[in-house]
């Protein structure tokens, strides 16, 4: 099977809900053992669901901005899974809030950059110190990096755009080690805390109405793409941004 992940060990940040939860489940269904981190949404039920499949799994609370926590959680994850992480999914992130640039505080700017970009840097750096050759890294970006996002999302769009440059540079750096590195840029994905918190119902309906496929995306739409990119079938794909948006935006 080209998507067989048997014997692989994955770490999914922000794995307690939404896209992260769906991704952790998809990787386990493909055969991987999965550690997942969470902050606001307890990931324990997800780990228990994965364990019920016969896979190793652990859910660990993590503030991914804190390097000390990243290092200790990574050590716990490798112990629980029985070896080093070879599949990393950087999913943790968020909008934090909507602020126009003219009124934006320094605190808001750095909070958004930290939760999306700095966290990815710190987790990836730590994992790469143990990841064996032939591993894989996928980061969850956003369509906002391509179209600027909605109202008050300048900081968010900027931080997600930075993830694309981070990924392209890292893909070149890690190519000699046969580690592929990619970004997925989701469009409107329903059933996630992100839109439940930050996007009014009218905005959600407008997003669906503007999507050629005529529906909201679902977390599984992203999770299945992640499972492909980290699988043997996706091993020659690196340095790309994969847009998954139902035709709402074309590169």
List active site positions: 156
Which residues pair with residue 242 across a beta bridge? Answer: 184
Question: Left, alpha or beta for 246 (phi > 0: left; psi -120 to 50: alpha)?
Answer: left
CA distances to 134, 152, 194, 205 from 199, rounded to whole Å, are 39, 11, 8, 10
* Burial annotation 170-193 (CB, 10 A radius, 16+ → b, else e): bbeebeeeebbbbbbbbbbbbbbe
Number of CB atoms found within 10 A of residue 163's CB: 23
For residue 61, report the phi and psi dihedrals to the nearest 5 degrees: -70, 140
- Rounded Cα gap, residues 178 and 182, in angstroms: 13
For residue 124, report the phi and psi dihedrals to the nearest 5 degrees: -65, -45
Contact residues for 15 (Cβ-Cβ < 8 A; gap 6+): 21, 23, 24, 34, 36, 37, 38, 43, 46, 59, 91
């Amino acid at each position: 099977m080209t998507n067989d992940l048997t014997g692989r060990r994955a770490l999914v940040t922000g794995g307690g809900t939404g896209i992260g939860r769906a991704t952790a489940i998809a990787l386990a269904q493909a055969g991987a053992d999965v550690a997942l981190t969470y902050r606001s949404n307890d990931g324990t039920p997800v780990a228990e669901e994965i364990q019920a499949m016969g896979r190793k799994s652990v859910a660990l609370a993590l503030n991914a901005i804190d390097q000390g926590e990243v290092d200790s959680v990574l050590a716990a994850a490798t112990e629980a899974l029985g070896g080093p992480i070879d599949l990393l999914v950087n999913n943790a992130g968020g909008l934090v809030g909507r602020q126009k640039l003219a009124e934006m505080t320094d605190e808001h700017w750095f909070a958004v950059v930290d939760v999306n970009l700095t966290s990815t840097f710190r987790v990836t750096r730590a994992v790469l110190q143990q990841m064996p050759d032939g591993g894989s890294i996928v980061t969850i970006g956003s369509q906002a990096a391509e179209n600027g996002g909605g109202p008050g999302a300048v900081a968010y769009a900027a931080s997600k755009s930075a993830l694309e440059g981070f990924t392209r540079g890292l893909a070149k750096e890690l190519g000699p080690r046969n580690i592929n590195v990619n970004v997925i840029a989701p469009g409107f994905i329903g059933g996630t805390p992100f839109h439940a918190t930050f996007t009014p119902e009218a905005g959600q309906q407008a997003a669906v109405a503007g999507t050629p496929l005529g529906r909201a995306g679902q977390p599984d739409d992203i999770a299945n793409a992640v499972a492909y990119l980290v699988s043997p079938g996706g091993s020659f794909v690196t340095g790309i941004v994969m847009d998954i948006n139902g035709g709402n935006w074309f590169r």
